[in-house]
Structure 1
């Protein structure tokens, strides 16, 4: 039995060595690739009219932009003819910036004085089952419902954490890029029992928006030598 155990241990050690060598080779090949330049202008073409919703751009303050350190930001408010409003923020991070934000709603809302009263993961049938993080937040008597998720050039409906890390790894390995974005929607909660209506409002907007983001996704290409 001892001999059999030793052979098993040797095979496992050999397999581990092969895996580590493969990972090291991939990491080395990635390091040798030329840096990628971002062309984020397609995001500026994201329609300001989505169904009955019409948008106005809300520029970010310079200090906020410096904190977020995104390659490109889009911030708008979409208004419906009946008076409903949806706030949109998209923060895009290219491969060279790591493909994901340093600041997320989990941190940004409390830092801005908002409390997160409740949170959950929601699957939206209106958006082909897209999964989002849902937060109920409030500040000074103002309440809002928030949906946010992460997407990349190859995937969407990422909630953060492990699924985001794996998506970035596969993207870098297969396509030599791992850029991504935080997508956040918010809408006011006008009454204590309004959250179902607010969720329906956001859910009906998520599907068309996510499809448009795929169409207007930024380009990345190897940096030209000067």
Structure 2
């Protein structure tokens, strides 16, 4: 009987401590970070040059994305066009977070196939891994490369990124991050289109720390 009461009060103590911790965690603010706005991303990245103005989504799409800031633009090199997008979230504690292409594209009618992980090496020698898919919608067929970046980490896996986001939120008071996505038409060769997407991903990889702080 005494032992049961002892266990009961231990359980109550654990629950109270857990409740206090959760309340403290929710109430404390996130650490501030200094970064450049995505609109200042260079119009020239290596040999890639911006084509046209930045693209703005409809209010409905922006509401669904719920990003703190985003940039969507075209870059061109040797006549090859790529669609480049970054969606940045200053905080993911309130439920706002990047939308995985694996969830969004199928809902918009795109079929995703041939998943691969591709290694990317920037001009400075930095290396990271990204996801690569072939995506199709009717007559449109494109290569898509994307990854998650923030707080000094560049990660292909959505699940590992979420784990690190929780860890950094507790240990560093930060949950900021972004998804970076590149798409280009397949044309006559999936392999060549993949090389194109990897090339601009490598070139931009050295530029992003100013916009997605470590």
> Could you state the TM-score of these two structures normalised by the residue count of structure 2?
0.79
Whether contact under 8 Å (2:106, 2:112) holds in the other structure is yes
Residue 211 of structure 2: which of 197, 216, 222 is its match?
216
* Residues 60, 131 of structure 1: alpha-carbon distance in 2 compared, 3 angstrom cutoff: same
Match of 2:4 in 1: none
Once the two structures are superposed, the pairs formed by residues 2-41 of structure 1 within 5 Å of their partners are 27-34=22-29
Distance 2:200 2:27 in 1: 41
CA distance in 1, matches of 2:96, 2:169: 10
Residues 55-66 of structure 1 aligned to structure 2 (within 5 Å): 55=50, 56=52, 57-66=54-63
Task: Find the counterpart in structure 1 of residue 83 from structure 2.
Answer: 87
Q: Which runs of 5+ in 2 are unaligned?
A: 1-9
The alpha-carbon distance between structure 1 residues 35 and 170, as it changes in their structure 2 partners (threshold 3 A), is closer
The count of corresponding residues between Structure 1 and Structure 2 is 200
Question: 1:196 aligned to 2:194?
Answer: no
Aligned CA distance change for structure 1 residues 108 and 28 (closer, same or farther; 3 Å): same
Matched, 1:167 2:160: no
Partner of 1:119: 115
**How many angstroms does 1:104 deviate by?**
1.7
TM-aligned CA distance change 1:25 to 1:73, over 3 Å: same
User: Is 1:44 aligned with 2:39?
Assistant: yes
1:26–1:187: structure 2 CA closer, same or farther, 3 Å change rule?
farther
Q: Is the 8 A contact 1:133 1:149 kept in 2?
A: yes
Q: Does the CA-based 8 Å contact 1:153-1:214 persist in structure 2?
A: no
- Cα 1:176–1:144, aligned 2, differ >3 Å: closer, same or farther? same
Question: Counterpart of 2:141?
Answer: 143
Distance in 1 between residues matched to 2:69 and 2:94, nearest whole Å: 11
Partners of 2:20 and 2:175 in 1: CA distance: 18
In the alignment, does 2:183 pair up with 1:182? no
Partners of 1:178 and 1:122 in 2: CA distance: 26
- Whether contact under 8 Å (1:187, 1:198) holds in the other structure is yes
Shift of 1:107: 2.0
1:77 is displaced (CA, Å) by 0.6
Q: Residue 52 and residue 29 in structure 1: after superposition, are their counterparts in 2 closer, same or farther (change >3 A)?
A: same
Could you tell me how far apart the structure 1 residues matched to 2:60 and 2:143 are? Answer: 25
Task: Name the Cα RMSD after superposition.
Answer: 3.1
Equivalent-residue separation in structure 2 for 1:20 and 1:196 (angstroms): 55
Cα distance in 2, alignment partners of residues 22 and 119 from structure 1: 44
